[in-house]
Protein backbone atom coordinates (compact mmCIF):
# COMPACT_ATOMS: atom_id res chain seq x y z
CA UNK A 1 0.00 0.00 0.00
CA UNK A 2 2.83 2.41 0.87
CA UNK A 3 4.51 1.69 -2.49
CA UNK A 4 1.30 2.46 -4.36
CA UNK A 5 0.88 5.68 -2.40
CA UNK A 6 4.51 6.66 -3.09
CA UNK A 7 4.08 6.02 -6.82
CA UNK A 8 0.88 8.04 -6.87
CA UNK A 9 2.55 10.96 -5.04
CA UNK A 10 5.54 10.89 -7.41
CA UNK A 11 3.23 10.92 -10.43
CA UNK A 12 1.26 13.86 -9.06
CA UNK A 13 4.45 15.80 -8.33
CA UNK A 14 5.91 15.23 -11.79
CA UNK A 15 2.61 16.18 -13.42
CA UNK A 16 2.41 19.42 -11.45
CA UNK A 17 6.02 20.29 -12.34
CA UNK A 18 5.31 19.64 -16.02
CA UNK A 19 2.16 21.77 -15.88
CA UNK A 20 4.06 24.58 -14.16
CA UNK A 21 6.75 24.52 -16.86
CA UNK A 22 4.11 24.58 -19.59
CA UNK A 23 2.30 27.46 -17.91
CA UNK A 24 5.52 29.46 -17.66
CA UNK A 25 6.36 28.79 -21.31
CA UNK A 26 2.91 30.03 -22.35
CA UNK A 27 3.39 33.20 -20.28
CA UNK A 28 6.81 33.72 -21.82
CA UNK A 29 5.40 33.36 -25.33
CA UNK A 30 2.61 35.79 -24.49
CA UNK A 31 5.10 38.33 -23.13
CA UNK A 32 7.29 37.97 -26.24
CA UNK A 33 4.28 38.71 -28.45
CA UNK A 34 3.46 41.73 -26.27
CA UNK A 35 7.01 43.04 -26.65
CA UNK A 36 6.98 42.52 -30.42
CA UNK A 37 3.67 44.36 -30.74
CA UNK A 38 5.02 47.10 -28.48
CA UNK A 39 8.10 47.53 -30.67
CA UNK A 40 5.86 47.87 -33.72
CA UNK A 41 3.72 50.40 -31.85
CA UNK A 42 6.83 52.39 -30.84
CA UNK A 43 7.90 52.51 -34.46
CA UNK A 44 4.43 53.54 -35.63
CA UNK A 45 4.05 56.24 -32.95
CA UNK A 46 7.56 57.52 -33.68
CA UNK A 47 6.78 57.76 -37.38
CA UNK A 48 3.85 60.04 -36.60
CA UNK A 49 5.71 61.82 -33.78
CA UNK A 50 2.97 60.78 -31.34
CA UNK A 51 4.57 61.31 -27.92
CA UNK A 52 1.80 59.75 -25.78
CA UNK A 53 1.65 56.69 -28.01
CA UNK A 54 5.40 56.28 -27.71
CA UNK A 55 5.33 56.44 -23.93
CA UNK A 56 2.45 53.93 -23.66
CA UNK A 57 4.19 51.55 -26.07
CA UNK A 58 7.45 51.76 -24.11
CA UNK A 59 5.55 51.04 -20.89
CA UNK A 60 3.94 47.98 -22.53
CA UNK A 61 7.31 46.80 -23.77
CA UNK A 62 8.77 46.98 -20.28
CA UNK A 63 5.76 45.11 -18.89
CA UNK A 64 6.64 42.21 -21.17
CA UNK A 65 10.02 41.86 -19.48
CA UNK A 66 8.34 40.66 -16.30
CA UNK A 67 8.41 36.94 -17.09
CA UNK A 68 11.96 37.17 -18.45
CA UNK A 69 13.16 38.79 -15.24
CA UNK A 70 11.45 36.39 -12.87
CA UNK A 71 12.21 33.16 -14.71
CA UNK A 72 15.26 30.98 -14.57
CA UNK A 73 16.55 31.36 -18.11
CA UNK A 74 18.08 27.88 -17.96
CA UNK A 75 14.55 26.44 -17.91
CA UNK A 76 13.66 27.68 -21.40
CA UNK A 77 17.00 28.11 -23.17
CA UNK A 78 18.93 25.37 -24.95
CA UNK A 79 21.37 23.62 -22.65
CA UNK A 80 24.10 23.37 -25.28
CA UNK A 81 24.52 27.14 -25.55
CA UNK A 82 27.40 28.23 -23.35
CA UNK A 83 26.35 31.00 -20.93
CA UNK A 84 22.98 31.35 -22.68
CA UNK A 85 21.21 32.20 -19.44
CA UNK A 86 23.66 34.98 -18.57
CA UNK A 87 23.46 36.31 -22.13
CA UNK A 88 19.64 36.40 -21.98
CA UNK A 89 19.59 38.12 -18.58
CA UNK A 90 22.04 40.73 -19.87
CA UNK A 91 19.80 41.40 -22.89
CA UNK A 92 16.85 41.92 -20.54
CA UNK A 93 18.74 44.51 -18.52
CA UNK A 94 19.94 46.24 -21.69
CA UNK A 95 16.40 46.31 -23.14
CA UNK A 96 15.14 47.90 -19.95
CA UNK A 97 17.96 50.47 -19.96
CA UNK A 98 17.39 51.46 -23.60
CA UNK A 99 13.62 51.61 -23.06
CA UNK A 100 14.19 54.02 -20.17
CA UNK A 101 16.55 56.09 -22.32
CA UNK A 102 14.00 56.09 -25.14
CA UNK A 103 11.25 57.31 -22.79
CA UNK A 104 13.53 60.06 -21.44
CA UNK A 105 14.42 61.17 -24.97
CA UNK A 106 10.75 61.28 -25.96
CA UNK A 107 9.80 63.27 -22.86
CA UNK A 108 12.61 65.75 -23.63
CA UNK A 109 11.38 66.04 -27.21
CA UNK A 110 14.71 64.84 -28.58
CA UNK A 111 13.53 62.59 -31.39
CA UNK A 112 17.01 62.07 -32.85
CA UNK A 113 18.18 60.48 -29.60
CA UNK A 114 14.88 58.61 -29.34
CA UNK A 115 15.50 57.09 -32.77
CA UNK A 116 19.01 56.04 -31.74
CA UNK A 117 17.64 54.49 -28.53
CA UNK A 118 15.01 52.60 -30.52
CA UNK A 119 17.67 51.14 -32.82
CA UNK A 120 19.78 50.06 -29.83
CA UNK A 121 16.71 48.57 -28.15
CA UNK A 122 15.75 46.62 -31.23
CA UNK A 123 19.34 45.41 -31.62
CA UNK A 124 19.18 43.82 -28.15
CA UNK A 125 16.05 41.88 -29.06
CA UNK A 126 17.48 40.79 -32.38
CA UNK A 127 20.84 39.70 -31.00
CA UNK A 128 19.17 37.46 -28.43
CA UNK A 129 16.85 35.90 -30.99
CA UNK A 130 19.68 35.33 -33.48
CA UNK A 131 21.94 33.72 -30.90
CA UNK A 132 19.47 31.74 -28.83
CA UNK A 133 16.55 30.94 -31.07
CA UNK A 134 18.37 29.69 -34.14
CA UNK A 135 18.12 26.06 -32.99
CA UNK A 136 14.48 26.17 -31.88
Closest CA to 14 of 2, 4, 6: 6
Calculated CA dihedral for residues 16, 78, 130, 38, nearest 10 degrees: 20
**63-94 pLDDT per residue, tens:** 999 888 776 666 666 667 667 778 888 999 99
**26-48 pLDDT per residue, tens:** 888 888 899 999 999 999 999 99
Distance CA 118, CA 122 (A): 6
Instruction: Report the Cα–Cα distance between both ends of the chain, in Å, rounded.
Output: 44
Q: Domains in the chain, ordered, with CATH?
A: 27-132 (1.20.120.10)
Cα diameter, the chain = 72
Amino acid sequence: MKILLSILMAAMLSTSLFASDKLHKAQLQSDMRLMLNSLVDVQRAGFYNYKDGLLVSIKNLKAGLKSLKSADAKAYLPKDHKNADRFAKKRVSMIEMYADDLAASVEDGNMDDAFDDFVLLQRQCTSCHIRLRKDF
